[in-house]
Structure 1
Amino acid sequence: MRALETCLYVDDLDRAETFYSEVLGLALYGKVAGRHLFYRLEGGMLLIFDPRASAQPGDVPPHAGKPGGHACLGIAREETDTWQARLTGHGLTVTRYAWGDRGESLYFMDPAGNVLELAPASIWGLPG
């Protein structure tokens, strides 16, 4: 079993789209204005919802959360420095944390206050 979807909640989808598309360079897979953004990742999806809309009854069960969640996106170990430079170049405050010999994580926040992490799978002892 693997995680197929990771879901975060934001209060401003336009700001979120700019951040995730331009700062992180993710390709937008689909969106419904005022409701959600969907990004395809390697082996899964990142879903970003406005909780005011996703809490309403519809085709799927209503769900909502608050900004302030956490997601870790996998990067290659050798890309850590490049990503740190990219993120700080966009004015983000980045905290770097070493997990012994398993690798390092970069922690930063999106515009809604979700804590994002970029890290190699090796921090969990996973391949690639």
Structure 2
Amino acid sequence: MAPQIEGVLETCLYVDDLMAATDFYRNVLGLKPIFSESRMAVYELGPASVLILFVKGATLEPVETPGGTIPPHDAGGAIHVAFAVAEESLPKWRARFDQFAITVASEVTWKQGGTSLYLHDPSGNLVELATPGLWPNYPRRLR
């Protein structure tokens, strides 16, 4: 039997313009920055997870660190990420998107419960804000 995975520590998106992406994730979505440099920016995602924005093509070579080598990685196309939000926060999110002239691409009310708002970041990545009930392990109330 495999040891148990405890959760997702990092979620990575690849962006065309790091300044535009930083503006979107910090100012529109309100994420708290942890670290940034010319090829990446890192944001808090709740108590035990981070979002890393990498400039597309900036991680194609191995990176040597004092502790070892980070293998190359990259992605292309419109990547998808979903962020957990409280159901009662949806009206505030809609108002915030209006304030920043962000178009909600789609809204889905799921049969099993929960609602998702979909929008695009400046690089075209699909960002979903999902309320509890969407998945069996995402209960009606946030922990």
Partner residue, 1:37? 41
Question: Deviations along 1:16-44, whole A, 9 cap, x unmatched?
Answer: 111111011111110111x1010011121
Q: Name structure 1 gaps, 5 residues minimum.
A: none
When the two structures are superposed, what TM-score results if normalisation uses the length of structure 2?
Answer: 0.83
The change in CA–CA distance for 1:67 and 1:20 in structure 2 (over 3 A counts) is farther
Matched residue of 1:63: which SS?
Answer: coil
When the two structures are superposed, what TM-score results if normalisation uses the length of structure 1?
Answer: 0.92
Relative contact order (alpha carbons < 8 A, sep ≥ 6): 1 or 2 greater?
1
Count of aligned pairs: 127
> Whose helix fraction is larger, Structure 1's or Structure 2's?
1
Q: Name structure 2 gaps, 5 residues minimum.
A: 65-69
Matched residue of 2:133: which SS?
Answer: helix
Segments of 4+ moved more than 2 angstroms: none
Structure 2 counterpart of 1:40, one-letter code? E
Partner residue, 2:122? 111
TM-align CA RMSD: 1.3
Bigger Cα Rg: 2
Check the 8 A contact 1:11/1:67 in 2, yes or no: no
1:92 paired residue among 87, 99, 102: 102
